[in-house]
Chains A and B, each alone.
Chain A
C-alpha cells in the first residue's frame, strides 16, 4: 500500500499535496553500478522491455530533446516531455506543461548509497495556477512510481550480476 508523506521508505512512494501543487517521490537502493542504471534510464526504445509502467517512448533521451511517452497511467494519452537537464550517471530532469498555469517536472537522481548501493530517487512535482481545477482528474502516482522503481532495481541488479 502506498504511503502519503514526504519521506518514502525503500521502494515505496509518498505524495505531498498542497493547494497549487502535488509532489510524488519514490526512492530505492539498487545493488548496481550507476552506469547500468543510467543506461536503462536513457535508452528510450528499451524502456518497455524492463519497465512495466511505460508502454512506449519515442525519441531520444538526450538534453534538449522531446520524447513522447505512453504510460499505464493513461494509455490513451501521449506525454510530450522535454529533457531539460542531464548529468550522466547522476541526475536528469524531464518537463512538460507551461508555467505558470500548469507544469510537471520529473527528476531522477542517482547517488552513492550505503554498502556500495546506488540510491535512486524519482520525484515529480505537478503544479501551477490551474492545478486546483485539474487535481481531481490526476490519478494517484504512488503505485506507478513504486512499480517503476522496483522494475529498475530488478533489471539493473540482473545486469550487474552478469558474468564478467
Chain B
C-alpha cells in the first residue's frame, strides 16, 4: 500500500480511533498524542502490513498497544469517581463558570442526557482492569468481532470472551447500583441534576422518555439495559457532537480531580 492510499484510509478511521483512545485515557491530550503516534508507527511499519487483518484492525492494534503502554502503570479510577468529581466541581466556582460560559456561547455547548450517559460510561469504565476496559470498548463501542479483538490485543478468543464477560458483569453491577436512570435504588442523579442546571426550562420526564434505556428500564433485564446503553454510546462521537465542548471540558476536569485523588489515596 502506498502512502497516499494509507493516508486516506487512516483519515477514514481517525475519528473512531480518536474517540476510542479518548475513552481509554479520559484525556483529550493523551488521545491526540496517541492518534499521532499510531499514525507514525503505522506509517513506519506499512511495508510490514501483510493484509492478514483489515487495515482498521491493524491500526487499532497499534493504537491499543500504545494506549496500553501509556496506561499500564497508571492507577484505575474508583467506581465512585463521578461522586468525587461532583463534590470537587461544586466547590470550584471557576470550573462552574467556565461550564456556563461554554453552555451559553459554544456551538458545541448543548447539554444532552445521552451525551452525559456516554461521558459517565467513560469515567466508570476507567475503574476496570486495563485489559477488560480495552476489550469492552473494542467490542461494545467500536463493534469489533471477538476474533479481531484477539488479534488486536494478542490474546486468545477465549480470553477475549472472558475479559468481555467480566467487564460487562462489573459494569452492569456498577450501573445497577448507581444509575438512577435504570434503577430505583440508583444513587447517582447527575444526569437530571445537570439537565436542571443547563436546561432549566426542559421537562426532564419528556427528555427521559426519548431514551429507550430509561423509558423501558422496568421492563428490561440488566443485560439488555447495558446493551441499550452501549447503543447510545456507539452513536456519539465525543468530538463532533453538539455537546462536545461541554463534555470534553467536564472530562478534563474529572481527570484532573481523579489524578489528584489517586495521588493522595
Contact = CB atoms under 8 A, between A and B. Distances in A.
Nearest to A36: B158
Interface string B162-200: 101110010000000000000000000000000000000
Interface string A72-94: 00000000000000000000000
Nearest to B170: A49
Nearest to A88: B156
Given A33-B157, A49-B169, A39 B147 contact: no
Given A33-B157, A49-B169, A39 B162 contact: yes
Interface in A39-75: 39-40, 43, 46, 49
Q: What DSSP secondary structure best describes chain B's contact surface?
A: helix
B159 A35 contact: yes
> Which of B147, B166, B169 has most A Cβ within 10 Å?
B166
Contacts, number: 37
A35 B162 CA distance: 9
B57 to A, nearest CB: 15
A158 interface: yes
Interface in B194-242: none
A159 interface: yes
A164 B158 CA distance: 11
Given A49-B169, A162-B164, A162-B165, A38 B147 contact: no
Given A164-B145, A164-B146, A164-B147, A35 B157 contact: yes
B161 interface: yes
Nearest to B164: A162
Given A33-B158, A35-B157, A159 B165 contact: yes
Contacts of A107: none
A159 B146 contact: no
Interface in A117-164: 158-160, 162-164
Nearest to A163: B146
B156 A35 contact: yes
Interface in B128-165: 145-147, 156-159, 161-162, 164-165
A34 B169 contact: no
Interface of B: 145-147, 156-159, 161-162, 164-166, 169
15 contacts: A35-B156, A35-B158, A35-B162, A36-B158, A36-B161, A36-B162, A38-B158, A39-B158, A39-B159, A39-B162, A40-B162, A158-B165, A159-B164, A164-B145, A164-B157
Interface of A: 33-36, 38-40, 43, 46, 49, 158-160, 162-164
